[in-house]
Amino acid sequence: MICIPITSGSGRKVLNDIKRSCQIADFIELRMDLIGGENLDELISIVRRQSRTIKIIVTCRRKEEAVPAARAKRTDAVERNKKKKMALLKQAVELNADFIDIELAEGSKAINELKSLCAQMNSRTQFIVSHHNFNKTPSLIELKKIFGQCARFKPAVVKIVTTARTIEDNLVILNLISFARKRSQNIISLCMGGQGVISRMIAPFMGNFLSFATLHKGGQSAPGQFTVQQMNRFKNLISAKRGMSASVLSSCNTPVKNYVLLGNPVGHSLSPLMHNAALKKMGIEENYSVCCVQDIGLAIEGIRGMNIRGASVTIPFKVAVMDYLNEIDRNTLEIGAVNTICNHNGRLKGYNTDWLGFILALKQSMTIKNKTFAIIGAGGTARAAAYGIVKEGGLPIILNRTRSKGRILAKEFNCSFYPLSDAGKIKADCLINTTPVGMFPHIDKSPMNPASLAAFKYVMDVIYNPLRTKLLMDAEKQGCSIISGIEMFVNQGAEQLKLWTGKEPPRTLMKKIILERLNKSE
């Protein structure tokens, strides 16, 4: 996310800069120490009139802040400046600015005073507790200590900015970003100065909360800052080199607020067709694209860096992606596979909607409580299915090709395991295929011998392309009731859209669109 600092002094220039920034940035920082004057109220109203979505950060640095607090002379002037700054930050809280930036060096009394005011006024203002070092980049150990001191105030964001004297200083600062992310703390961390530009280029890809960039050359609020255009060029270049299609990730010039499917392969997916039709019907001017991913860790950094609102995750990353997220929903943690990501201002939370989609589909045909379900497969979808069945009071049985994987899953859900080669010996109320066997273009394949299917009253295939897999056709011939993967597909997709937009999606339309496409190809 891009933050443009507003630093100009004169009225008309401030107005023009704010107008332009609101069109291209996610955040605007009102540097009241550089703008001067007492017109915070007016400036906030101007920003709000230009954009309802842009976030406002109010900052007021004192000159003395470059000097470590312990050494700063406690002159009358310093005290006066401090009082002035506090009054301004209090006003920002009263005006509901989205964020205020307060230096750690102001001390806990000042920070707590502002926090109390915020609580008292029920203000929505969040805190950035910051530390700047204008001389050097301290060691990582020292920076971690400073991070701890800032994080103690439980701010929305910790900001630690140092001065790079060597290229290696960039590595220290980038390490600090990983350190903060592992602790689920939003951070803005970078090196100032000519030697520090590398940190400004890489930090967005490591999950830095935002990147500062200026509107014009010469308008920098800190040494080494790029212009918005330069920042966009780097981001696009790095994204393209990593195999992240620039058209998918778009550019920060027009902030991306879209959705993407991460998987490999993804070319066959019907999710874009379904999600884009639904978004259009919901009146949401956003789109859903696909991204063929080589390295899921890098793709996740791209989601953060490019401020993509949400992502679907498919084969083969549903389990691996969990290591790269800030938070995972409780049900999803139990399932152990993520198929949906929501981006909350750079904090990525993982969900699983497969289990809900699966249960909604199954319930349309049968009751689950006290029934037995033989699940073929032990991957992400099998996990979601087993979780849903247990949650609804059913009894799963796992059948899998790789015994070790099948046993692990059965143990987790406290149920029986059988090798897939023994499938002919199993009896259950319902058989569920969660493997890709039989999926387009291998439509003549089935994971089960047709004769064994008579042992099941219901047979469900999670595959939706083709609509009637060989397994389902064989099962029908054996007199079983069949359940196609389309209901699960539509419902898991609808639940994703609900998480991303907070609105109920048009499920009937989504199903119609997919049916039309599949019937055409059949």
**Catalytic site positions:** 318
Cβ contacts of 106 within 8 Å, gap of 6 or more: 82, 85, 86
CB of 432 to ligand NAP, least distance (A): 10
CB of 81 to ligand NAP, least distance (A): 59
Task: Using the minimum distance from each CB to ligand NAP, give the nearer residue, 127 or 489.
Answer: 489
CB of 387 to ligand NAP, least distance (A): 12
The single residue among 110, 316, 476, 481 that binds ligand NAP, judged by CB under 6 A, is 316
Cβ contacts of 267 within 8 Å, gap of 6 or more: 290, 292
Task: Using the minimum distance from each CB to ligand NAP, give the nearer residue, 196 or 466.
Answer: 466
Task: Using the minimum distance from each CB to ligand NAP, give the nearer residue, 191 or 463.
Answer: 463
CB of 516 to ligand NAP, least distance (A): 17
Segment lying near ligand NAP (by CB under 6 A), choices 147-155, 304-312, 328-336, 431-439: 431-439
Task: Using the minimum distance from each CB to ligand NAP, give the nearer residue, 362 or 428.
Answer: 362
Q: 180 is written with which tokens?
A: 């903060």
Compute the radius of gyration of the chain from its Cα atoms: 27
**Segment 340-359, which members bind ligand NAP (CB under 6 A)?**
354, 357
Residues 388, 371 contacting (CB under 8 angstroms): no
The number of residues in the chain equals 522
Q: 473 is written with which tokens?
A: 């056709």
Can residue 400 be called a binding residue for ligand NAP (CB under 6 A)? yes
Total residues interacting with ligand NAP, rule: CB under 6 A: 29
Report the relative pairing of strands 327-328 and 288-292 from DSSP bridges.
unpaired
Residues 176, 143 contacting (CB under 8 angstroms): yes
CB of 371 to ligand NAP, least distance (A): 20
Residues 345, 374 contacting (CB under 8 angstroms): no
Taking the C-alpha atoms of residue 112 and residue 100, their distance in angstroms, rounded to an integer, is 13
Cis before 441? omega within 30: yes
Biggest distance spanned by C-alpha atoms of the chain: 92
The single residue among 84, 257, 401, 407 that binds ligand NAP, judged by CB under 6 A, is 401
Can residue 488 be called a binding residue for ligand NAP (CB under 6 A)? yes
The single residue among 380, 394, 505, 506 that binds ligand NAP, judged by CB under 6 A, is 380
Where is 383: in which H helix or E strand?
Answer: helix 380-391
CB of 268 to ligand NAP, least distance (A): 9
The single residue among 315, 320, 499, 509 that binds ligand NAP, judged by CB under 6 A, is 315
Q: 170 is written with which tokens?
A: 């960039």
Cβ contacts of 356 within 8 Å, gap of 6 or more: 388, 491, 492, 495
Task: Using the minimum distance from each CB to ligand NAP, give the nearer residue, 99 or 489.
Answer: 489
CB of 279 to ligand NAP, least distance (A): 18
Q: Which amino acid is at 155?
A: P
Closest CA to 224 of 207, 245, 203, 206: 203
Where is 212: in which H helix or E strand?
Answer: strand 211-214
- In 3-state terms, what secondary structure has residue 131? strand
Task: Using the minimum distance from each CB to ligand NAP, give the nearer residue, 105 or 320.
Answer: 320
Segment lying near ligand NAP (by CB under 6 A), choices 1-9, 219-227, 291-299, 372-380: 372-380
Segment lying near ligand NAP (by CB under 6 A), choices 26-34, 178-186, 283-291, 459-467: 459-467
Segment lying near ligand NAP (by CB under 6 A), choices 17-25, 168-176, 296-304, 483-491: 483-491
As a dihedral over the C-alpha atoms of residue 222, residue 225, residue 228, residue 231, rounded to 10 degrees, the angle is -150
Can residue 402 be called a binding residue for ligand NAP (CB under 6 A)? yes
Can residue 437 be called a binding residue for ligand NAP (CB under 6 A)? yes
Residues 350, 384 contacting (CB under 8 angstroms): no
The single residue among 61, 200, 318, 511 that binds ligand NAP, judged by CB under 6 A, is 318
The single residue among 25, 197, 274, 378 that binds ligand NAP, judged by CB under 6 A, is 378
Per-residue x/- track, 462-481, ligand NAP (CB under 6 A): xxx-----------------
Would you give the DSSP letter of residue 369? Answer: T
Can residue 205 be called a binding residue for ligand NAP (CB under 6 A)? no
Q: Please, which residues bridge with residue 348 across strands?
A: 343
Q: Please, which residues bridge with residue 459 across strands?
A: 431, 482
User: Which residues contact ligand NAP by CB under 6 A?
Assistant: 315-316, 318, 354, 357, 377-382, 400-402, 405, 420, 434-437, 439, 447, 462-464, 485, 488-489, 492
